[in-house]
Structure 1
Amino acid sequence: MESTEQKQKKMTLIALVLMIFTSVFGFTNIPRAFYLMGYGAIPWYILSAITFFIPYAFMMAEYGAAFKNERGGIYSWMEKSVGAKYAFIGTFMWYASYVIWMVNISSTIWVPFSNAIFGSDKTATWSLLGLNSTQVLGILGICWILVVTLTASKGLEKITKVTSVGGTAVALLNIVLLIGAVAVLIGNGGHLAQPIVSSAAFTQSPNPDYQSGISVLAFLVFALFAYGGIEAVGGLVDQTEKAEVTFPKGVTVAAIIIAIGYAVGIFLCGIFTNWKEVLAVKGVHMGNVAYVVMQNLGYQIGQSFGCSQATSLTIGAWTARYAGLSMFLALSGAFFTLCYAPLKQLVEGTPKELWPGKMAEIKDGMPKNAMWVQCIFVVAFIALVSFGGDAASKFFNILIKMTNVAMTVPYMFLSAAFIAFKKKTEIKKPFEVFKSYKWTCIATVVVTFTIGFANFFTIIEPAVHGNLKDTIWMIIGPVFFTIIALLIYGSYEKKSKKELQ
């Protein structure tokens, strides 16, 4: 009787809000936003919550409720709404974004590792057998993906327990940031390290790379990326108490809390971090800025309470060590899960005939053959980017921009398919937020336009400033995988036609 009651227990509003918060809120988005735009990032994060996060989460909730019994995840959603070809390209792009994520993390995971060991980012000084730091990070990244693939392909899923430990430690980082910043503010008698001279502080960036209109508009993709992970929300509808009322309220409350959380977090960074003195220093980049900011927080806590220079530096180093260890554990756990989970959904959700040879074969609950093909792609991408001859700062910027674009493009496929989904009366829709066709169209246009607008300016921004290489790199990832998706599906269509003849 007790187990039956537990099964029937559904999530309350508070539980739902917490679930959405932990799925979406990312600590590193805060220092990165402050690094790129200073206080000027705050309005963009609020705008993204209104034009993207809230309506998109409602769309995912409607999909999730309608297709709760489908195993194929987002492939089933799009296939039943639009068609198989559209669904495959969209799902393959979604999967491809995780491949780009793995390329990124394979090389950038050594930044938190360095912070955990040394108390600061030393990766820019690493060299081996005449190779520069970028190339060393590339080699380490290649070794990392090989080890993870070898381990995960054996079905050793227990390693993902690291995720919960790292996740808890990262969650505590937000509390450290809040308490630490308030302590510094009190210790400094209410003075901000990054002064607010006028309202222009919230519209203009202290970063010289973000002075033009195009650069500022390109920042929008970082704000969208900060709200990533809301696809998981779609599966929570049927687990929510009085979903019709609770779910829209939960998403709205969570969105407000997350948007305020980001806004407050960015403002807190300005309490103890002077942009020119701390972030304009050589060697600071998007890959290590979170640890630089946390190290500075520890140092400023010491300084504001009268500690000696040596003691303040020690506090800073240990704060950076904690941040580094937390992020290393969280990223390691996430990596072991994501090296097989998206691939498994892609292989299991789509027709087996799509995949050549034994690619679709599942052994010990793992798509082993597909995992090794994936590994080869990741190794090739890491080698291409890390041996391209750029400095470490450029290397990290390319990887992060490739990830942001690649991970937000699939959102357009899902949002664009929403009108077709709503038009199909044969699809049972037990949960609806957008009850009229007018609001469905408005939501679809606003969300799809926001994502497209942000990605367009992100992609063209480097080229406008004479850096065509970065623009090409951001296009390469999504285009490369779209071509692969079209080739795979084209081959499948030819096979199907032959079988019918």
Structure 2
Amino acid sequence: MERSWKFMKKLTLASLVLMIFTSVYGFANMPRAFFLMGYGSIAWYVLGAIVFFLPYAFMMAEYGSAFKNEKGGIFSWMQLSVGPKYAFVGTFMWYSSYIIWQVNVSSSLWVPLSNAVYGRDITGSLKFMGLEGPQVLGILGMCWIVFVTFVGSFGVDKISKITSVGGIAVTALNLVLLFGAIIALILNGGTLAQPINDFAQTVTVSPNPNYQSTLSLVSFFTFAIFAYGGIEVIGGLVDQTENPSVTFPKGVAFSAIIIALGYAIGIFMIGTFTNWESVLSNPSVNNANITYVVMSNLGYVLATGLGYSTEAAIVTGQWCARFVGISMFLALTGAFFTLTYAPLKQLIEGTPQGLWPKKLLVTKRNMPVNAMWAQAAIVMVFILLVSFGGKEAAKFFDKLITMTNVAMTLPYMFLSVAFPFFKRKQNIEKPFEVYKSYGSALFASIVVTCSVGIANVISIIEPAIAKGRYVDTLLSGGGPIFFALVAFGIYTHYENKNNTPSKPSVKQKATS
């Protein structure tokens, strides 16, 4: 396998931050959080930042700085800290979660595009050659996968340029939300659209009738964790970063703080111009279109506050939705290009020679093109299975989001559990350290692992216990378990075939 990267352009701090921003920060997470929990979501997001995102991000920074010369990303990190079988199971589960993510986004990507063109979501009523809604979205999703794989195969520099555009689009969208909300608040005489009459009740009781029980409230924590997920993806790009021992941890730390603050401020700003009962209680509002409903409402509120007619306010809201649509489309496009390449790179380059067929390891223009096309085929098969399941659009999106939340957060536990082992190994040079002692590293590991574990257990069992939706519970919990068993079987087969013991590779211990 060709592994020459020396002719590639290195990522600067600015481009690294933009890639982290587009990979982790999701503008839609804020309207969705407000829809599910109102102002109460701020407390859960802050808690998620304290017990998960910040300590986890600093772990990733330490890993990345120590293993700056390793091309295998998180697989190399866990292999050198614990062992190859542990690393493979964790990496394969993590990679598999991004397969689900691609299935989700390749179909839901057309919602922002619909809003950009029409000013509203028409994806639920799409018809084409006898196909409806989810089926049409599935066909579009498969076409999108082919397009992204083709463009991405031309090199990481092309991907970097696209993600930079996505990062700029997200920044512009947040500025519109921030300044639009401030203007709306001024026009309303400083009165919040979603009032805070009793602070304690506001931050603990959700206006959403589906989030009233203690179990459902705690299950929302998984949404908060998911909103911060994805920073480990950038670990595979440490070897492509300028002065990685300094630039990488600085980029991770800076991005983590900005993202955490951005979520908290953004959720509060939505409440300045959106009343939950009058705007979001409509049965047509769901997790797929909530972002466009909220931002369209911002345009409407601004127009009416400035004295425009109802008709003009409605048109203003539609144009607001169009702006959100094109911005979200660009942001999701940037994230899609990064997340279809970076996880695959870590799975292919990090794992031992002989584990994958030789044809899968062939590279062109320093990209594992055969593996990328094989991945595209797998994603398209999943899209076909899910999109032709006969579900209406809202349930189709909700089920995909449920699957993605749990599948993407469980593998984080593998990295956090491995961290104390990493800190204990004296032969690994650690040029950047946030956790100065083993005790602090162990404490951070326990906090992150327990946070992710408890949130996911509750999120998995909540649909069955509270709502009798046993299929949702099976989908949420069964998917990660299935992929873990597959990974264990693949690596055990490799060990038996090559008579290879599962212990850290000696040749990779020198990482400085």
> TM (normalized to structure 2)?
0.88
- The answer for the alignment partner of 2:4 in structure 1 is none
The counterpart of 1:480, out of the listed 461, 479, 482, is 482
Q: Which secondary structure state, in structure 1, belongs to the residue aligned with residue 499 of structure 2? A: helix
Unpaired segments ≥5 residues, structure 1: 1-6
Query: Separation in 2 of the partners of 1:184 and 1:213?
Result: 34
- The answer for the alignment partner of 1:126 in structure 2 is 126
The counterpart of 1:468, out of the listed 448, 458, 470, is 470
1:54 is the counterpart of 2:54: yes
The answer (yes or no) to whether the contact 1:164–1:330 under 8 Å persists in 2 is no
- The answer for the alignment partner of 2:226 in structure 1 is 225
Over residues 60-86 of structure 1, what are the superposed CA-to-partner deviations in whole Å (9 max), with x where a residue is unaligned?
Answer: 122122211111111111001100101
Q: Which moved more, 1:201-210 or 1:103-112?
A: 201-210
Query: Separation in 1 of the partners of 2:418 and 2:352?
Result: 20
* 1:436–1:89 distance in 2 versus 1, CA, 3 Å: same
After TM superposition, give the deviation of residue 21 of structure 1 in Å.
Answer: 5.8
Query: Separation in 1 of the partners of 2:189 and 2:468?
Result: 45
> TM (normalized to structure 1)?
0.89
After TM superposition, give the deviation of residue 445 of structure 1 in Å.
Answer: 0.6
* 1:183–1:399 distance in 2 versus 1, CA, 3 Å: same
Q: Which amino acid aligns with 2:260?
A: A
Structure 1 segment 90-239 matched on structure 2, within 5 A: 90-153=90-153, 158=158, 161-199=161-199, 200-231=201-232, 235=238, 239=244
Q: Which secondary structure state, in structure 2, belongs to the residue aligned with residue 68 of structure 1? A: coil
The answer (yes or no) to whether the contact 1:170–1:330 under 8 Å persists in 2 is yes
- The answer for the alignment partner of 1:34 in structure 2 is 34
* 1:247–1:287 distance in 2 versus 1, CA, 3 Å: same
Q: Which secondary structure state, in structure 1, belongs to the residue aligned with residue 131 of structure 2? A: coil
Unpaired segments ≥5 residues, structure 2: 1-8, 502-512
Q: Which moved more, 1:428-437 or 1:47-56?
A: 428-437
Over residues 140-162 of structure 1, what are the superposed CA-to-partner deviations in whole Å (9 max), with x where a residue is unaligned?
Answer: 21232233334444669647633
Query: Separation in 2 of the partners of 1:91 and 1:463?
Result: 29
Query: Separation in 2 of the partners of 1:148 and 1:237?
Result: 26
The answer (yes or no) to whether the contact 1:112–1:327 under 8 Å persists in 2 is yes
Over residues 430-469 of structure 1, what are the superposed CA-to-partner deviations in whole Å (9 max), with x where a residue is unaligned?
Answer: 3322233322221111010001111111111111110111
1:443 is the counterpart of 2:444: yes
Q: State the identity %.
A: 58
Query: Separation in 1 of the partners of 2:420 and 2:133?
Result: 48
Q: Which amino acid aligns with 1:495?
A: K
- The answer for the alignment partner of 2:504 in structure 1 is none
Q: Which moved more, 1:217-226 or 1:479-488?
A: 479-488
Q: Which secondary structure state, in structure 2, belongs to the residue aligned with residue 340 of structure 1? A: helix
Query: Separation in 2 of the partners of 1:155 and 1:17?
Result: 19
Q: Which secondary structure state, in structure 2, belongs to the residue aligned with residue 358 of structure 1? A: helix
- The answer for the alignment partner of 2:382 in structure 1 is 381
Q: Which secondary structure state, in structure 1, belongs to the residue aligned with residue 484 of structure 2? A: helix
The answer (yes or no) to whether the contact 2:162–2:337 under 8 Å persists in 1 is no
Q: Which amino acid aligns with 1:339?
A: T
The counterpart of 1:493, out of the listed 486, 492, 495, is 495
Q: Which amino acid aligns with 1:275?
A: W
Q: Which secondary structure state, in structure 1, belongs to the residue aligned with residue 391 of structure 2? A: coil
After TM superposition, give the deviation of residue 175 of structure 1 in Å.
Answer: 0.8
- The answer for the alignment partner of 2:295 in structure 1 is 294
Q: Which moved more, 1:461-470 or 1:142-151?
A: 142-151
Q: Which amino acid aligns with 1:68?
A: K
Q: Which moved more, 1:138-147 or 1:198-207?
A: 138-147
* 1:32–1:119 distance in 2 versus 1, CA, 3 Å: same
Q: Which secondary structure state, in structure 2, belongs to the residue aligned with residue 352 of structure 1? A: coil
Query: Separation in 2 of the partners of 1:88 and 1:32?
Result: 33
Query: Separation in 2 of the partners of 1:172 and 1:230?
Result: 22
After TM superposition, give the deviation of residue 273 of structure 1 in Å.
Answer: 1.0
After TM superposition, give the deviation of residue 356 of structure 1 in Å.
Answer: 2.9
Q: Which secondary structure state, in structure 2, belongs to the residue aligned with residue 339 of structure 1? A: helix
The answer (yes or no) to whether the contact 2:295–2:320 under 8 Å persists in 1 is yes
Structure 1 segment 306-455 matched on structure 2, within 5 A: 306-455=307-456
* 1:453–1:19 distance in 2 versus 1, CA, 3 Å: same
Q: Which amino acid aligns with 2:52?
A: F
Count of equivalent residues: 487
* 1:259–1:101 distance in 2 versus 1, CA, 3 Å: same
Q: Which secondary structure state, in structure 1, belongs to the residue aligned with residue 360 of structure 2? A: coil
The answer (yes or no) to whether the contact 1:60–1:233 under 8 Å persists in 2 is no
After TM superposition, give the deviation of residue 33 of structure 1 in Å.
Answer: 0.7
Q: Which secondary structure state, in structure 2, belongs to the residue aligned with residue 264 of structure 1? A: helix
Q: Which amino acid aligns with 1:485?
A: A
* 1:255–1:166 distance in 2 versus 1, CA, 3 Å: closer
Structure 1 segment 275-286 matched on structure 2, within 5 A: 275-286=276-287
The answer (yes or no) to whether the contact 2:23–2:335 under 8 Å persists in 1 is no
After TM superposition, give the deviation of residue 422 of structure 1 in Å.
Answer: 1.6
After TM superposition, give the deviation of residue 133 of structure 1 in Å.
Answer: 1.1
Query: Separation in 1 of the partners of 2:20 and 2:383?
Result: 32
Q: Which moved more, 1:335-344 or 1:79-88?
A: 335-344
Structure 1 segment 233-272 matched on structure 2, within 5 A: 235=238, 239=244, 251=253, 255-272=256-273
The answer (yes or no) to whether the contact 1:39–1:270 under 8 Å persists in 2 is yes
1:25 is the counterpart of 2:19: no
After TM superposition, give the deviation of residue 237 of structure 1 in Å.
Answer: 11
Over residues 106-131 of structure 1, what are the superposed CA-to-partner deviations in whole Å (9 max), with x where a residue is unaligned?
Answer: 10001001001001111111123333
After TM superposition, give the deviation of residue 369 of structure 1 in Å.
Answer: 2.5
Q: Which amino acid aligns with 1:282?
A: P
Query: Separation in 1 of the partners of 2:130 and 2:18?
Result: 49
- The answer for the alignment partner of 1:4 in structure 2 is none
